[in-house]
Amino acid sequence: MRLALAEAEQAVASGDVPVGAVVLSPDGTTVLASGHNEREATGDPTAHAEILALRRAAASVGAWRLTGCTLVVTLEPCTMCAGALVQSRVDRVVYGARDEKAGAAGSLWDLVRDRRLNHRPEVVEGVLAEECARLLTGFFRDR
Q: Which residues are annotated as a binding site for Zn(2+)?
A: 48, 78, 81
Select which of 38, 50, 100, 125 is catalytic: 50
Task: Tell me which long-range contacts 31-38 makes (C-beta under 8 A, separation of at least 24).
Answer: 31/3, 32/56, 32/57, 32/60, 32/61, 32/66, 32/69, 33/57, 33/59, 33/60, 34/3, 34/4, 34/7, 35/7, 36/7, 36/8, 36/9, 36/10, 36/11, 37/8, 37/11, 38/11, 38/14
Positive or negative torsion for Cα 63, 67, 73, 78: positive
Q: What is the CB neighbour count within 10 angstroms for residue 41?
A: 15
Task: Judge contact between 109 and 85, C-beta under 8 A.
Answer: no
Binding residue numbers: 48, 78, 81
Q: Catalytic site residue 50?
A: yes
Q: Looking at the annotation, which residues are catalytic?
A: 50
